Each structure stands twice: as C-alpha cells, then as structure tokens.
Structure 1
Amino acid sequence: MRRSLRRPLTVLAALALTAPFAASVAVAAPPGQRAPDLVWTTTVTDPDQSLRGLDAVDRVTAWVAGGSVSGGAGGVFRTTDGGATWQDVAPPNADLNFRDVEATSATTASVLSIGEGEASRVYRTTDGGASWTETFRSTEPSAFYNCMAFFPGGRHGLAVSDPVDGRFRIAATDDGGASWRVLPADGMPDSTGEYNFSASGECLTVRGNVAWFGSGGADARVFRSTDRGRTWTAADTGLPAGEAAGVDGIAFRTPRHGIVVGGDFAAPADGTDVVATTRDGGRTWTDAGDLTHLGEDVAWVPGTRAGVVVVGESGAVGGVSVSGDGGATWIRASSTGFHTLDCTRDGSCWAAGSGGRVARAAVR
C-alpha cells in the first residue's frame, strides 16, 4: 500500500473546468457542541490529477499540486478568484508527482515532488508560476522526501524524508526556499522501520518556532524540534501503526494545543483510535474521538475556539468530519472525501482530492 501511495505518476492532461456547485450539509450536533458549519463550493482543475498538496494564502488565493492517475505529469494549479477558475502553472518538462506546495503569496510558492533519490525535488516560483527554478534535488538514493513546511515569515523552512540509515532525514532552507541543505542526522532519534506518509502534504507542520512531523510503519509517533530541525524528540501517539498505517496529518492551534489524524489505508473504513490530541506541545498524546473514515488531513477552523475539520479519501471510502470540541466528538458531515485541507485566518477552508477536485468553504 505504501508503494501505491507514492508511485511516481508522470504528461499533463488538458485543463478541464466544470461549473462550481455549492452544498450545505445540515447535521445535528451533540448537546453542548457547536460544530463548524461549512458550505463547500467545488471546482475541477484537471480530472486526471489526484491532488494531495494544498496551501491557501487567503480566501481568494490558493495553490494545489498533485500527480496524474494515467501516467502523465503532475500538476500545479493556482487561483486568485476564490476558486472560480484555476490556472495551470506547473513547472515545464517536470514529469514528477507533486505532493506538497507551500505559498507565501499569489506569486511566491515552492512545490515538492516525491520519489526515491533524485525524484525528490523542490521547485520555486516568484512570478505566480510563469517560471520555476529547481532549488533542491536529493543526492541520496535511499532518501524519499514527503512534505515540507515554512516557519512564520516564510524565510526558514524544513522538508522531511523517510529514514536514511535508520534516521529521518531533514533538509532546511534559510532563504525562503531559494536553496536547501541536508542537516546532520545526529540530532534525530533512531527511527528504523518508520516512514512518513505523503498522503496529504501535511505530515510536517510548524507553529511559532516549533516543528513537528508524524510517522507510520513500525511506530506512529510525532517528532518535535525547537531549534529549526537540528535536534528532535519523539512521542508515541497511540494511533495504529503498520505497513499502511500511522500519522497522516498534523495541526497545531497554538504551540501547545495540537491534533493528529491517521488510520490504515488497508482498512480505510476503520476510524477507531485514529485521532489524538496534545496539550503540552506534543510531548504526550491522548486518544480522542473516533472517525468513520480515514483521516488524511486535519485543520483548526478559523474563528472558532475548538472547531476542527478532518478529511480523508481512499477508494470508495471517504468523508469530511467536523468537531466543535477539539476532537473529542465528531460529526460526519459528508461521505465525499478529500486528501488534503487548509484553513486561513480570514475565515475560509479549502480541500482537494481525487479527480482534480478543489473545494472552498466559508466558515459560518
């Protein structure tokens, strides 16, 4: 299953747009719970793309990235009108599978492609995708970079790879993604048998000056760094671990309050014990409410104190679930799933998934 999640998918199909539609799902919240009310408007960028990378700058500007399901090139798309239309801005002649995109504006963004060795690359644009510069290419044959994240301000950032010689590998940038260097591995705990999942581009996240990433395989742990990736500590989450199971998505509302979601791609309908929360910055984790579907990504809902939304999609099994109490209880708002999710400070949430679908919701 891990191989099928990551296989290189490489030719861009013709860009196809469909008319957007809106859907509001009325659900009854448990007593005392005010679940976020999200009304999704969905468009299709390219039906050949499985979109797993997403970064929303604000309620009108967002970037998505993915891979072709027919063996074509991975796509990168940008909107500046709230998702009404999408522009194909993929790096030219890059037959790669893009799994993460990190943007600081409508013009500046970095995209990460996945794969073993040199297939793991970062491209950067400062002109809205009109041109791209390759700023990183892995030189280690056994490295496999899965996701990246930038600290506030956009100058410092990290990317995480599956373990090389038994330890997760970290690449870092101090110039906004214009250049990268691989950090020494002596500050990383032994992680033999573990790996990341590039299911949603959110296996790595930052909040303030702290960074976290999640693992699966032999263990389902969260790794934490307070020195921009030089040293790390690890804590068990209690999520199921296995060949296709572990932590998929991670989000922090504050440097202390966080949530992780995951599950088993071999059993996507089993949402038992796939959510955990922390109140001490990721040093310890507590089992939270169960889902009825896989959890690939999670986000705190803007404008709420404890609103959370989770998305997941694996074959015919998918869903969007919301919580109004920080993940203790969940409402399945939709059986239509997505792979990746992002919410912005100005009151919108975005999601993307299979068939080139991108959805935007105004928080009510």
Structure 2
Amino acid sequence: MRTHLGILLTTLATAAVTVAAVPAQADRDRGPDRDLRWQRGVVDTDQSFRGLDAVDRRTAWVSGGSISGGDGSVWRTTDAGRTWEEVSPPGTTGLSLRDVEAKDADTAVVMSIGNGEDSRIWRTDDGGATWTETFRNTEEAAFYNCLDFYPGGRRGLAVSDPVDGKFRVIATEDGGRSWEVLPDAGMPDSTGEFNFSASGDCLVIAGRTAWFGSGGSAARVFRSADRGLTWTATDSTLRADETAGVFGLAFRTPRQGVAVGGDFDPAVVEPDGSALTRDGRTWQVGGDLAHLGEDAAWVSRRLLLVTGESGPEAGTSLSTDGGRTWERLSTTGYHTLDCTRDGSCWAAGGGGRVARASAR
C-alpha cells in the first residue's frame, strides 16, 4: 500500500560510505536495558530506508527509495556498520525498495513496491556486484508490499494488496530465483483491506507458519500453516482506518508474537498500540505506545523493541514483559528494526539514518 509518508557525520568515498559513530545521550537513548548502547550514523541523506535485514553483529543490508525521485538503493555493511557500500540493482530510478531479505553477506533478495510493473524482485549471489531481476508484476491491480523466507531460504512468499477482493500471494521454491502466483481459493475475502509497506515486516515467517497484517476496513492478522496456500484471518485488536492498521509483525517463536501499529494521521489522538499472541492464532491487546509502531524485534526471550518514525510522534520503546507494557527509551524513531541471535540490533529510517546497538 502507498504508505503516508535525522543527522550526523558522513564521509563519502567512491564506492562506500564511512559512518562516524555518535555517542548516545544518556537521557534519550538509554532506558531500563542498560546493555543496549546505540551508535548512529547517516549512509545517504537522499534515501528513506524501510527495508532491513541483519545477518549478524557485523553484516546487515538496508534498502530504500530516493526522496528526490532518484534511484532506489541497497547498501551493505560487513564491518558492524563502520562502513557501508552501495550495492544497488540497476534500473531503479523512481522505485522504492521497501524490503530486503539476506541469507548472508553475499546472498540477498530485494523488492520494490508499487502498482503494476513497479513491483519487482531481484536476487544477488555476489554481495550486490550483480543482480538478476526474478519477478516483475504484470497485474495493474496488484501492489506488492513485503516478502519473507522460510527457514533454509528456499521457500519464500510475497504479498500484494487485494486483487478482486483477495490478497494476492506469490511464492518461490528456489530462493527467489523464480516466482509464481498462488491460487486465491484459500484466501478470505479482503475487500477494503491493504498492507502497509511501512517497514518490510508486514509479512513474516517463523518455523512453518507465515503471517501478514492488514489495515483499511479491518486491521487483521492473516495466518498460513500450509506454505501460503490457505489463510485464516483474525482481528488484531489494533485500530483500523485508511491510515491505520498493522504496520509490523515480529515472532520469537511460531507461537509468541507481537503486532504493532497506530495511525499515520496526525489528527488522530488515540494511543498507538500493540497486540500479542501466545498461540500464533489469536490476538489480545498489548501495551499502549507513546509513539507510532512501524516495526518490532525481539532482543531476547524477555526483551522486545519497537520503533516508529512517521506519524505525530516518533520514538523507540522497550518492553521487558513481552509487549504487555512499554517504556519509551528515546524520542528518536526509525522505520525498520531487526535483531540477531548474537545480540546485536539494527535500525534504519528516513534521511538515510542507520543505527546499531550491541551488548557492552
């Protein structure tokens, strides 16, 4: 869906950007989790980053679109964010690359969003030195928003806003080298709903289960346990409207997950919210947020981060109880967030901003 749409020292080189770390202010960027220390920088001020995949504490990929109408871009770091190299596919002028999914430092799949042929997918196996376009949408009514892969990286799904009243899903069996449109007989009626491509995490996969979120006429979470062939839809408990719904999902296990959202409309004063599931199927109200929630990520079994940059309030918050309550860590927010198993968290947002937190 067409989403309604800060800074620091940068040194430019021919093929890479060196990002100077800026010490976090204690009153703005630390909270109850004192083991997380954020280093922030700017990669490209012309980019709004909404795609992010962190491989480990040293390697991460980000993707986005130009705010001036230039090229959409992909950037990669392999030295914990000290330097970033632009590794973009060719022919991305005017495109917004809203999602990137990386297997390692060499292999990644990236998606651009938009109506008709603006929705495309590319794959690289050499760290972005070369790319192959593996999907270009031919349905004018389709608008692809986000993608993810099952464990192992071969089976993957991508979701589009509804076509003829049902969300459209495509699948790959070869790691993103080829894609096919899945039949929609197992998709519930979705008239009036759409995805928000706010963070690249409107569709996520954990274990053998996939979920995606919606907004518009309803704010629901759709679930598939058979590789994307059939789906059930459940109310998320989040606010639904033309500018409101589920913006991001994060699952620690196939049973324990969180949905975050809010309303992009600055005139809406209702609290932004979260929703929780303990069985992967049903959702209950989570804690209220002091800012928009565009994306969330599990830091550990107990700790959960949420961030948001758009809307009337920006910020980053931490939960120590799985999302039942939140404490605001900072008034600085980002569009997208990801944490890895080795204890590092990454964030990216508007103005080409990137951030990394690691345990001290």
**Are 2:224 and 2:231, in contact at CA under 8 Å, matched by a contact in 1?**
yes
**Are 2:157 and 2:228, in contact at CA under 8 Å, matched by a contact in 1?**
yes
Instruction: Name 1:174's counterpart in structure 2.
Output: 173
Instruction: Name 1:9's counterpart in structure 2.
Output: none
Deviation at 1:363, TM superposition (A): 3.4
Deviation at 1:2, TM superposition (A): 4.2
**Are 1:238 and 1:273, in contact at CA under 8 Å, matched by a contact in 2?**
no
Deviation at 1:16, TM superposition (A): 5.6
Partners in 2 of 1:329 and 1:4 — Cα distance?
27
For residues 158-206 of structure 1, the C-alpha deviation after alignment (integer angstroms, 9 at most, x for no partner) is: 0000000000000100000000001001110000000000010000001
**Corresponding letter in the other structure for 1:277:** L
Partners in 2 of 1:267 and 1:145 — Cα distance?
26
Partners in 2 of 1:192 and 1:48 — Cα distance?
35
Alignment of 1:215 with 2:214, yes or no, is yes
Deviation at 1:54, TM superposition (A): 0.1
Aligned counterparts, 1:352-363, within 5 A: 352-363=348-359
Partners in 1 of 2:183 and 2:318 — Cα distance?
40
Instruction: Name 1:165's counterpart in structure 2.
Output: 164
Equivalent position SS for 2:52: strand
Instruction: Name 1:344's counterpart in structure 2.
Output: 340
**Corresponding letter in the other structure for 1:157:** G
Instruction: Name 2:9's counterpart in structure 1.
Output: none
| TM-score, with structure 1 as normaliser | 0.92
Aligned counterparts, 1:1-364, within 5 A: 2=2, 4-5=4-5, 17-23=18-24, 25=26, 35=33, 37-95=35-93, 96-267=95-266, 270=269, 272=271, 274-281=273-280, 283-301=281-299, 304-314=300-310, 317-363=313-359
Deviation at 1:267, TM superposition (A): 3.0
**Are 1:53 and 1:65, in contact at CA under 8 Å, matched by a contact in 2?**
yes
**Are 2:263 and 2:311, in contact at CA under 8 Å, matched by a contact in 1?**
no
Deviation at 1:273, TM superposition (A): 5.3
**Are 1:268 and 1:314, in contact at CA under 8 Å, matched by a contact in 2?**
no
Deviation at 1:20, TM superposition (A): 1.6
The 3 A distance-change label for structure 1 pair 287 and 253 is: same
Deviation at 1:147, TM superposition (A): 0.3
Identity %: 64
Deviation at 1:306, TM superposition (A): 1.8
Partners in 1 of 2:101 and 2:268 — Cα distance?
30
Deviation at 1:29, TM superposition (A): 11
Deviation at 1:276, TM superposition (A): 0.5
The 3 A distance-change label for structure 1 pair 90 and 174 is: same
Equivalent position SS for 1:191: coil
Partners in 1 of 2:315 and 2:272 — Cα distance?
16
Equivalent position SS for 1:77: strand
The 3 A distance-change label for structure 1 pair 273 and 241 is: same
Equivalent position SS for 2:139: coil
Equivalent position SS for 2:351: helix
The 3 A distance-change label for structure 1 pair 122 and 154 is: same
Q: Which runs of 5 or more structure 2 residues have no equivalent in the other structure?
A: 6-13
| TM-score, with structure 2 as normaliser | 0.93
**Are 1:269 and 1:293, in contact at CA under 8 Å, matched by a contact in 2?**
no
Partners in 1 of 2:298 and 2:267 — Cα distance?
22
Partners in 2 of 1:227 and 1:80 — Cα distance?
35
Superposed CA RMSD:
2.1
For residues 259-312 of structure 1, the C-alpha deviation after alignment (integer angstroms, 9 at most, x for no partner) is: 00000000388462510101111x2111111111000000111xx322100000
Equivalent position SS for 1:355: helix
Q: Which runs of 5 or more structure 1 residues have no equivalent in the other structure?
A: 6-13
**Are 2:119 and 2:136, in contact at CA under 8 Å, matched by a contact in 1?**
yes
